[in-house]
Amino acid sequence: MPTTLKIYHEKQTRQLCALHALNNLFQENIYQKAELDNICSNLSPNAWINPHRSLLGLGNYDINVIMTALEIRHCEAFWFDKRKDPSCIDLDKIVGFILNIPLDYKIGAITLPLRKRHWIAVRRIGQHYYNLDSKLRQPELLGTESDVLHFLREQLKEKEQQRELFLVRYRSDCNESQQRWIEESHDINKTAD
């Protein structure tokens, strides 16, 4: 990892991986648990048990909370169709990536036959891409554009594990095409000359 770069990296606490993924994505502590809890309440104001976080309210937020939190900061998230190759992504038009990956439940050295979901952020900082997973001790240097595309390909090829990829970009002019993050050579809506 280049030593001259200061990389913001929150580490995992409780079930707050969505909070850490958002803050790591934006490289600063801009979201708080109270803000995400408030979003949950607004999404389901009359729910006795809120479906957008864990039963005990300790975190474990769903994509609806993440997308709403991004909208507050003038960003939007797009679900990436795993049938496509990540090379169709125009990396210059996105802030970064949020991945939802499965993890095993462990109690000490014992792995339980249950799965939980975990949110991680990946983004470019300087000239390189980093995996900013809050479960890592420090950010993981992925490398160049081709390296991050390879990383994403590897993450998405695990079909039985139901990994999901979301592209995060700043909200822009409404007149742009629907999929503004796709390279022109891959855009099926583009008319031939």
**Catalytic residue (choose from 37, 75, 118, 174):** 118
17 is catalytic: yes
Report the C-alpha gap between 179 and 78 in whole angstroms.
Answer: 9
Tokens (6 digits) for 123: 């983004």
* Cβ 168 vs Cβ 93: under 8 Å: no
Catalytic residue among 9, 17, 37, 40: 17
118 catalytic residue (yes or no):
yes
Of the candidates 122, 37, 39, which has an alpha carbon nearest to the alpha carbon of residue 73?
39
Cβ count within 10 A of residue 76: 18
Residues in the chain: 193
CB 19: neighbour CB atoms within 10 A? 27
Give the alpha-carbon dihedral of 54, 58, 60, 62, to 10 degrees: 70
Per annotation, catalytic residue among 40, 62, 133, 174: 133
**Catalytic residue positions?**
17, 118, 133
